[in-house]
Amino acid sequence: MSVDAEVTESAAEGAAEKKGWLKGVREGLSKSRKALGQQLASILLDRFDDEVWEKLEETLIYADVGVAATVKIVQSLEEAVDAGQITESGELLAKVREITADMLRADEHRIDVDHQPAVIVVCGVNGTGKTTTIGKVAWHLKELGKESILVAGDTFRAAASEQLEEWGRRAGCRVIRQKQGSDAGAVVHDGVAAGQSSGADVVIVDTAGRLHTQKNLMKELEKVVRVTQKLVPDGPHEVLLTLDATTGQNGLVQAKLFAESVDVSGVVLTKMDGTARGGIAIAVTQELGLPIKLMGVGEKVEDLRPFDPDGFSQVMFEEGVLGS
Amino acid sequence: MFDSLSEKLQSALGGIRNQGRLNEKDIDKVSREIRLALLEADVNYKVVKDFVRKVKARAMDAEVLKSLNPAQQVIKVVNEELTALMGSSSGKLEFSSRPPTVIMLVGLQGSGKTTACGKLARFLVAQGKNPVMVAADVYRPAAIDQLKTLGAQLDVPVYEQGADANPVDIARNGVDWARDNGRDVMILDTAGRLHIDEQLMDELAKIRKSVKPHNILLVLDSMTGQDAVNVAQEFQDSVAFDGVILTKLDGDARGGAALSVRAVTGRPIKFASTGEKLDSFDYFHPDRMASRILGMGDVLTLIERAEQGLDEQKAAEMEKRLRKSRFTFEDFLDQLDQVRNMGSLQSILGMIPGMSSGKLKGMDVDDKDFDRIRAMILSMTPEERQHPEMIDGSRRVRIAAGAGTNKQAVNQLLKQFKQMQKMMKQLGSGRAPSNPFQMLGM
């Protein structure tokens, strides 16, 4: 059984005072001075002159879409206009959303937990939200009747294991950990083994934050993955890379190097409840073929959403922030 | 990943040699390249627009040095404007005559505040201060534990009231505790929060009002994209921070967010955090950041050489001649992997005829150091690799940061390399090999 959009949504519905993500984001956008929707709303009244294109470019850059992808999108739009597909400014917005959504679409957006146990390794740069995401994933799995074991593979950071233990409490899961400074590979080995012997449905492995530029740490990550493979030969079934939505163009090289080291199966775009629109996700999907699978939308355990390219594009290019 | 900006500019201007003022066409060509470079570096869109406009205006007016070609001319202007924008100095901390001096750290989730607290504490201890760290993050699981662990590591006390207390109370009580216990500095860790979270931003304002910090530092992740300006603006409006701690600079993010925050809020980057260990923390150097943002580590070389009046063509010829009789870091880099595969460097060097143990002394290259050496060389610009003698103090610091090591390691490498070069010269009979291992028939 895979975790698909429907199921995740229904699980989240049970949560107390759930604020619709789109509503929350709209409110966030309304507070931001750089509300993208407002900018685009202003160009909808104009004809297709240079100012329109510049405004569009500005909107895309502000969303961290990056120069290369912006050029691609603007080119596609220009072609559509030249081909007579767009004749009114109102259609421009819809077309931008369509192009962007298509760029974000991937073959597989779902999380694969169809194994016994399914092994998920979570990796990423420091501060991107790995441990928090693990707590959320574990909670959502629990709502689906799946038991998880959390493995405190971050043996470097002060109180990292304690942090995961707290998430274990919130999600109602067991946490396997050792002292700070222990060998990460050893903890992961114990954790996966415990998962197998206890009949857990899912084993979720936390790892230390690391910069993709630190070769020795990337090698350590490769070792951690190999350790899981020793016990579960066809695993890990998911290697999720957390990517902070506020990250700029460096996000692409981050994803690239992590994917080169370990077989990243999907990306979790975290902190989408801020004002950053996470446009770097477009480059990550387009240039590296990495699917965005999940989105973090807050600090509470329920604040996790399946990634939906159309919804994402809708928010990125929203028409009139207050109201519609 | 990207060609250096200077290379792009050179090709954009096609190496035209102009005398007199730069014409508008030249300037337009380069404006585009500069704009691209800055956007790729995550500098805010509007800041880029304003910046390029300013550079264009200056470039039009600029007096052209005869030895500078148009590309160099523009690079010079860009570098100067960028350095001016970054600020000439980082600005130091304010210390109160009536202790404790309160330093409050604020910022988004995951920016590195708690780690920065530890680093700042260590930094201040080294300056002879007696800090206390105050744990006012009651939201993030185990945040208090994290700060306590850091405190234990550093032998710096941590004041906390657990996760059920009110952060405003914790902060205020922390000041009292600091005073009662003879601590002259109080470093206040706060919870990461979104700049659009009204409730939490209000809380921050309340803490500020109650505690009246002498320094409020925004902790900013150097890989932040366009959103940096929004964040900075909101934090500025809520708590009026005095300066920024820029974190995770040991990565390869260009760090344009730093420029944006400086340009929009006028607040300087005061500290740079260059690694996860607690000693990776120092005052920020604006001039080197300018080069990093532009992705042009070698820009100063171009300017410096041009200003020395070296004709570029003559210099290139001279370089070719020199290369033939010189063993450079470039050569070293080429050979590094091959050598490694073959066995320890020392044993190989020992095989070179004429190599006595005396000469080998001081040239010991531990195999384990290969990766580190490689990283350091890769951190050098092509220019630096060809002319290691130009690598001065500040360049060494930059190279160290780029390779994730310290200045001592760079010093050591350069010393070793100099000896190696000398040895190569001695070994050669008039025509020293560009590759010392050629002698072994590889």
**pLDDT tens per residue across span A142-172:** 999 999 999 999 999 999 999 999 999 999 9
The C-alpha angle B212, B218, B222, rounded to 5 degrees, equals 170
pLDDT of residue B147: 97
Between CA A280 and CA A250 the distance in angstroms is 9
Residues A71 and A136 in one domain: no
Q: What's the whole-number average pLDDT of chain B?
A: 80
What's the CA dihedral at A282, B46, A323, A276 to 10 degrees?
A: 40
pLDDT of residue B310: 40
Between CA A151 and CA A194 the distance in angstroms is 10
Whether residue A3 is contained in a domain is answered as no
Identify the residue among B149, B227, B265, B374 best suited for mutation to test binding to A, counting A beta carbons within 10 A and taking the highest.
B227
Whether residue A317 is contained in a domain is answered as no
Write the CA distances from A276 to A62, A288, B126, B228, B365, integer angstroms: 8, 21, 38, 9, 47
Length of chain A: 324
Between CA B88 and CA B286 the distance in angstroms is 7
pLDDT of residue A67: 92
Min Cα distance B258 → chain A (Å) is 12
pLDDT of residue B366: 54
With an 8 Å Cβ cutoff, are B250 and A214 in contact?
yes
Least confident of A150-159, A253-262, B42-51, B343-352: B343-352
pLDDT of residue B224: 96
With an 8 Å Cβ cutoff, are B196 and A247 in contact?
no
Min Cα distance A173 → chain B (Å) is 15
- Interface ipTM: 0.84
pLDDT of residue B298: 45
Percent of the residues in chain B that have a pLDDT greater than 70, as a whole number: 71
Residues A87 and A122 in one domain: no
State the number of CA atoms in the 13 A half-sphere of B353 facing the CB: 6
Write the CA distances from B247 to A51, A209, B278, integer angstroms: 37, 14, 12
pLDDT of residue B79: 78
Length of chain B: 442
Least confident of A40-54, A141-155, B61-75: A40-54
Mean pLDDT of A287-314: 94
pLDDT of residue B212: 96
Identify the residue among B43, B146, B223 best suited for mutation to test binding to A, counting A beta carbons within 10 A and taking the highest.
B223
CATH superfamily, domain B5-89, is SRP54, nucleotide-binding domain (1.20.120.140)
Encode pLDDT of A94-113 as tens digits: 898 999 999 999 888 889 99
Whether residue A13 is contained in a domain is answered as no
pLDDT of residue B296: 57
If you measure CA to CA, which chain A residue comes closest to B1?
A253
Looking at residue B390, what DSSP letter applies?
G
CATH of domain B312-440: 1.10.260.30
Domain hosting A151: range is 118-308
pLDDT of residue A282: 96
With an 8 Å Cβ cutoff, are A159 and B146 in contact?
yes
The sign one gets for the Cα dihedral A260, A262, A265, A266 is: negative
Residues A178 and A291 in one domain: yes
Using a CB-CB distance cutoff of 8 angstroms, which residues of chain B are in contact with residue A66? 39-40
Q: Domain B101-284 class?
A: alpha beta
- The CATH number linked to A204 is 3.40.50.300
Min Cα distance A198 → chain B (Å) is 26
- The CATH number linked to A76 is 1.20.120.140
With an 8 Å Cβ cutoff, are B142 and A31 in contact?
no
Find out whether B254 and B290 touch, Cβ atoms under 8 Å. Answer: no
**Of A104, A134, A156, which closes a domain?**
A104
Q: What's the whole-number average pLDDT of chain A?
A: 85
Higher pLDDT, A91 or A304: A304
Split at pLDDT 50, 70, 90, the class of B431 is: very low
Residues A199 and A89 in one domain: no
Whether residue A229 is contained in a domain is answered as yes
Higher pLDDT, A68 or A34: A68
pLDDT of residue A88: 74
Whether residue A299 is contained in a domain is answered as yes
Least confident of A74-78, A219-223, B102-106: A74-78
Please count the structural domains in chain A: 2
With an 8 Å Cβ cutoff, are B110 and A127 in contact?
yes
Quote the radius of gyration of chain A (alpha carbons, Å).
21
Split at pLDDT 50, 70, 90, the class of B94 is: very high
From the list A62, A250, A276, the residue facing B45 with the nearest CB is A62
- Beta carbons within 8 Å of B407's beta carbon, 6+ residues apart: B393, B396, B397, B400
Question: What's the gap between Cα B326 and its chain centre?
Answer: 30
From the list A32, A127, A247, the residue facing B112 with the nearest CB is A127
Start-to-end Cα distance in chain A: 36
Encode pLDDT of A113-138 as tens digits: 999 999 999 999 999 999 999 999 99
What is the token pair recorded at B265? 């809020």
Residues A60 and A149 in one domain: no
With an 8 Å Cβ cutoff, are A275 and B225 in contact?
no
Give the count of Cβ contacts less than 8 A between chain A and B: 152
Whether the pLDDT of residue A18 is over 70: the answer is: no
Residues A219 and A275 in one domain: yes
Min Cα distance A313 → chain B (Å) is 17
Percent of the residues in chain B that have a pLDDT greater than 90, as a whole number: 46
Whether residue A18 is contained in a domain is answered as no
Least confident of B4-8, B87-91, B170-174, B327-331: B4-8
State the number of CA atoms in the 13 A half-sphere of A310 facing the CB: 2
Encode pLDDT of B110-169 as tens digits: 999 999 999 999 999 999 999 999 999 999 999 999 999 999 999 999 999 999 999 999
Between CA B94 and CA B366 the distance in angstroms is 44
Whether residue A48 is contained in a domain is answered as yes
pLDDT of residue B404: 87
Split at pLDDT 50, 70, 90, the class of B174 is: very high
DSSP assignment string, B89-109? S-------SSSPEEEEEEEST
Split at pLDDT 50, 70, 90, the class of B67 is: low
Q: Decide: pTM greater than 0.80.
A: no
pLDDT of residue B327: 66
Between CA B220 and CA B113 the distance in angstroms is 9
With an 8 Å Cβ cutoff, are B108 and A271 in contact?
yes
Encode pLDDT of A207-238 as tens digits: 999 999 999 999 999 999 999 999 999 989 99
If you measure CA to CA, which chain B residue comes closest to A29?
B196
Which of A35-44, A74-83, A305-314 has maximum average pLDDT? A305-314
Domain ranges of chain B: 5-89, 101-284, 312-440
What is the token pair recorded at B424? 């190569």
What's the CA dihedral at B305, B306, B308, B309 to 10 degrees?
A: 140
